[in-house]
Structure 1
Amino acid sequence: MSKPYTENDLSNILDTDLIWRRKELSDMKAAIKKADQFSKTALLRALVAMSYAHWEGYIRTCANSYFEHLTLRKKSFVELERQIYVNSFLGRLDALHRSRVNLQERCKLINDILDGGAGRFSYLNPTLVDTKSNLNTDVMKDICTICGVDSDHFEQNRTFLDVLLLKRRNVIAHGQQEYIQPDEIDDFVAKILALMSFFRNLLENKVYMKEYAA
């Protein structure tokens, strides 16, 4: 896969990734509409699981590609918005919270925070963009925070994300009988794709407007 060196590179990567996801969901919808009643029930369940998989996968791709683009810009932390610098310490803070480290290690972390602003942003901890295999509204808001974008739109769609998508997906994943109605599938898939595209647009606009800059 090519790297997002430029704004256009980033757009092309996100376009390519969205195209195959959209086609797979479209193909699944078509299969459901043509299926007999017995097959249709199984396909409706599969559509929910597939929709969630594309939701989680595309959000992760967008966020990781955005940060990769920033690392390829080879800018120092002082040239970037503060959240980028904050992100560089979140993994260590989490490890500090989960373990009993000595005073020297705590002091070292504080000194690194105070002294590290002149460094260059060249690496993103891969655990930072963490969907937790359960990309609900609260997790999405965390991802928006580390990306430095507003999460209000996802909060406004909490019921759809947490109930109509996540709750259904989790029930299906645990082997219980759950599916959506055939007359729901067009709106359901359209909503998923709209939310995926909305997040992509937030990051893409930020890059083109260079809103990541200090």
Structure 2
Amino acid sequence: MKRLVETSSDNEVTQAALTRGAVALLYAHWEGLVKRLTETYLSFVGLQRLKNSELSDCMLALIIRSRFQEAESAQKLGPHLRILEFFRTSMDHRSRLPNKGAFRTESNLSSKVLEEILITVGIDSASYELKFHMIDHGLLAKRNHIAHGQLLDVDEEDYLYLHDEVSSLLTLYRNDLENAAVTRQFQKDPVAQI
């Protein structure tokens, strides 16, 4: 799409249609790849066969959150007792980390949703914060306008800027997850394991 946008500058109508479609596709890649990378990372962590007590706080919180969600909707005491039992007896059991449904992009991968995903996987958001405005107002808002049929002109320069920014963000996120896997940030005491 990027190449098509770049080579269509001699026809304004064609370029307008291409840039609108390219922004929607760029957003789809943004949301889809963040979701896929996160699920893959959580699957990798689950395959490490760690005990609950060996997990980092954010990984253990994922396990506990699912138990609290079950208890929250229950009118009975049973799910609450299972939470108590988990803390008393299951810390030395092998972890069962959820990877599907452990996070939600909410079909609008905004900066707030991204920040929650970063917290979920234990990645510092500082490197992403300068891009939050671009995510919310450059990418997400434009995609929403286009997807909901509102008139929005996106010129070649706007699209190419978004393309480069999203590509660099996706590379940053992939690299951060790879580093987290290699340095075992998912573990309670990763330094001792290296």
Q: Please tell me the TM-score bracket, short chain as reference.
A: 0.7 to 0.9
Q: Which runs of 5+ in 2 are unaligned?
A: 189-194
RMSD over equivalenced CA pairs, Å: 1.7
Partner of residue 3 from structure 2, selected from 30, 49, 55: 30
> Any conservation in 1 of the 2:42–2:98 contact (CA below 8 Å)?
yes
Question: Is residue 178 of structure 1 aligned with residue 124 of structure 2?
Answer: no
Equivalent residue number for residue 42 of structure 2:
67
Question: Is residue 56 of structure 1 aligned with residue 11 of structure 2?
Answer: no
Partner of residue 125 from structure 2, selected from 143, 151, 157: 151
Secondary structure of the structure 1 residue equivalent to 2:90: helix
> Any conservation in 2 of the 1:75–1:121 contact (CA below 8 Å)?
yes
Instruction: String of CA shifts for 1:12-68, please: whole Å, max 9, x gaps.
Output: xxxxxxxxxxxxxxxx11111222221111111111111111111111111111111
Please tell me the residue identity of whatever aligns with 1:180.
V
Cα offset, 1:207, TM superposition: 1.3
Cα offset, 1:84, TM superposition: 1.3
Secondary structure of the structure 1 residue equivalent to 2:184: coil
Q: TM-score, normalised by structure 2?
A: 0.87
Structure 2: how far apart are the matches of 1:113 and 1:171? 47
Structure 1: how far apart are the matches of 2:172 and 2:15? 30
Aligned length in residues? 186
Cα offset, 1:140, TM superposition: 0.6
Structure 1: how far apart are the matches of 2:61 and 2:32? 25
Q: TM-score, normalised by structure 1?
A: 0.80
Question: Is residue 87 of structure 1 aligned with residue 48 of structure 2?
Answer: no
Cα offset, 1:150, TM superposition: 0.8
From the two aligned structures, give the one with the greater helix fraction.
1
Cα offset, 1:95, TM superposition: 4.1
Cα offset, 1:144, TM superposition: 0.8
Cα offset, 1:163, TM superposition: 0.6
Partner of residue 191 from structure 1, selected from 155, 165, 170: 165
Secondary structure of the structure 1 residue equivalent to 2:105: coil
> Any conservation in 2 of the 1:85–1:117 contact (CA below 8 Å)?
no
Structure 2: how far apart are the matches of 1:183 and 1:49? 16
Structure 2: how far apart are the matches of 1:95 and 1:80? 21
